[in-house]
Amino acid sequence: MGPVIHTYAIALRARFRGLEVREGMILSGAAGVGEFSPFWDYDDDESTRWLAAAVEAAERGWPPPVRDRVPVNVTIPAVSPQRAIELVEASGGCRTAKVKVAEPGEGLGAERDRVAAVREALGAGGRIRVDANGGWDVETAARHLAALDKVAGGLEYAEQPCATVEDLAALRRLTHVPIAADESIRRAADPMEVARREAADIMVVKVQPLGGVRPALRIIEEVGLPAVVSSALETSVGIAAGVALAAALPDLPYACGLATVNLFTDDVLTHPLRPTGGELAAVDAASLPLRPDLEATAAPAGARGRWRGRLERVRALLEDDEAGR
């Protein structure tokens, strides 16, 4: 496994997933660079997949693409309607928006206002999807989705509206809004349960939590649902892996959730991966130019120490797993 060349800490433009600052590590290897940035609610064992993805990028690179460009959506955090409009307008031409909902302490009225603002900004031809991160029970999800579907003029889908596969399956029989499974795929001991229970119409996949581009491709094939490739709130190094996965898929019916670099106030690349014309270009791990002044995004000394300790523990677990195969 290649050396760590940088531990970053970058402020976010808006609170997202409970975070105001995103941290992680950049590793280098013979094939280029990879990112290791599991959230802190992932334990060491679960974080081994995140490290495997970084090692794949740095040491092996990614499978060859079947397309040069990947359509992406703009992600709208739990912000004011005016800020939502500004984010759509600054998205680099995205014609699909994913709107965060089910924010703690926020009601249906705020969600409806945000979705209405996004519809105004996108115009009639744009697509809107919502993401609840498992924050609703079945009854609440059915009620909120009916209201949001109406104000959106039709939702493309709802991402992880409920936390469990059982609840997703129950909700899917109560609503005509398509259901996408995210956490029920990437954090599941058995991702196939979603398909067996007919709990979703779409699967959301993320490279780091699934162990890399190649493992993600295998899981997509096994589950057999249309796939949306999404970000795990990474720097451009991690985003490049997501684009590589989307570019390698045989079919790509939906815009991907990979336009999240705009949520960061800074980046580790000289040229951050931001969309133009609503798309991102496919790149390889060897062609990611790290900025010469990486120190500008460096984590404080205490955070660097925590990440070094975490990497050592996770690396030992990953090496044990590989030795046992």
Q: pLDDT, tens digit, for every residue of 21-36?
A: 999 999 999 999 999 9
Predicted TM-score (pTM) of the model is 0.94
Dihedral through CA 113, CA 105, CA 234, CA 265, nearest 10?
A: 70
- Report which of 23, 69, 31 is spatially closest to residue 232, judged by C-alpha positions: 23
Confidence of residue 247 (pLDDT cuts 50, 70, 90): very high
Q: What percent of the chain lies above the pLDDT cut of 70? A: 99
Say if residue 154 is exposed, middle or buried (CB neighbours under 10 Å; 0-12, 13-18, 19+).
exposed
Catalytic-residue membership of 100? yes
Tokens of 105: 């302490």
Q: Which listed residue (206, 214, 304, 310) is catalytic?
A: 206
Element (H, E) at 69: strand 69-71
The pLDDT value recorded for residue 226 is 97
Calculate mean pLDDT across residues 94-109: 97
Catalytic-residue membership of 98? no
pLDDT in tens, 36-62: 999 999 999 999 999 999 999 999 999
Q: Which listed residue (22, 49, 98, 100) is catalytic?
A: 100
Q: Which domains does the chain have, with CATH numbers?
A: 4-61+293-324 (3.30.390.10), 69-287 (3.20.20.120)
